[in-house]
Structure 1
Amino acid sequence: MQALINAGGKGSRMGRCGVEKPMQMLGDRPTIQRVLDALMASENIDKIFVSVSDNTLRTEEYLKDRGVETIRTSGESFMHDLHTSFERMSGDYVLTCPSDLPLLTTRVVDAFIEYFDPRVMESAIAVVDETTVRNLGITPSYTRESRGNQWVLSGLCIMNRPRTIRGDYLDEVLFDTNWPELAVNVNTMKELDLARSFFRE
């Protein structure tokens, strides 16, 4: 399976911090590198692409220096960027991952991929129960109800590539977890400080 890391957004919720969101340092590595490390160590992933844009030129330079294949997108719309990237990729299914999920581990990636069954699933998204997220000090901006519980979207997905390009509706299955590795998306300075605290510990 191929994987796509989305790293072309404006990162506007970070404020004017002077550093592109994927390049924010966590310990001795930028956020984007921590996500790359988790995906590169997975035996279930054959190739990794990273979508970048004019919003993330420093990230693009960093990735090219390390031989990571990038796809230039507009950076204006998540779905437009996704379609642009999927048209450059191959295979029926793609794992998509945000660049701001720095606690992600290969164990989590593999568990999600091995859960996904293309014979009965069109797409899947990994979610975290709301209590886990709030216990970390994060207030979710959006939750989804399922089976009597509230879930927070992690951004880690598996999607049917050809059908997404065609604009087909995909029935989505939730891979529900209580894993902190999927709970911390670095969208604000508060979440960045929280993520950094894990590496200080």
Structure 2
Amino acid sequence: MLRFPVSVIKTPGKEYVSDMQYAVKSLGLNVVLAIGADLPLITGEVIDAIVKCYERCGKPALSVVVPFETKERLGFSGEYAFTFEGTRVVPAGINLIDGRRIDDGELEQAICLLDLKEVAVNINTVQELKIAERLLAEKLGK
């Protein structure tokens, strides 16, 4: 990564949350979009929808979820499922947080429910990689 035109921050490597806090504080960031690299179908349009959801919510944190049924229908696992407004949902691995509040402990959080396969496709296993490859090929018309 050091050869690419990106900034690299070496964190303590403790765990996700503390490493993100370290990075946000080190860079002095305001609003931060945290998204895993294992969400290959995410598009700019989806990111725009998530940012609009954050801007409307009025809370310092936002978590994106997808219906459990959508993940299951596509062949993905639904670990960490919970019920939100009567719908069984799964965290998508996409969050927005006001970096100025990073040290405030647990923040009030809004939930953004998106029933989109682009949000549901999260690769954690070889089988899920194969499903994602098939869906991407379909999307590209191959």
- Superposed CA RMSD: 1.7
Distance 2:13 2:42 in 1: 23
Report the Cα distance in structure 2 between the residues aligned to 1:118 and 1:90, rounded to whole angstroms.
23
Equivalent of 1:181, from 108, 118, 137? 118
1:150 Cα shift? Answer: 0.9
Q: Flag the structure with more relative contact order, 1 or 2, with Cα contacts below 8 A and sequence separation at least 6.
A: 2
The code of the aligned residue for 1:142 comes to: Y
1:172 Cα deviation after fit: 0.9
- Say whether residues 1:198 and 2:135 are aligned partners: yes
For structure 2, the 5+ residue unaligned runs are none
TM-score scaled by length of structure 1: 0.63
Deviations 1:38-67 (A, max 9, x none): xxxxxxxxxxxxxxxxxxxxxxx3xx3331
1:83 Cα offset (Å) = 1.4
AA partner of residue 112 (structure 2): F
TM-score, normalised relative to structure 2 = 0.88
**Whole-Å Cα distance in 2 between the matches of residues 70 and 102 of structure 1?**
21
Q: In the alignment, what sits opposite 1:83?
A: 21
Distance 2:74 2:56 in 1: 33
Q: 1:118 to 1:107 in 2, by over 3 A?
A: closer
Rounded to whole Å, the distance in 1 between the matches of 2:72 and 2:82 is 15
Relative to 1, partners in 2 of residues 1:75 and 1:131: Cα closer, same or farther, differing over 3 Å?
A: same
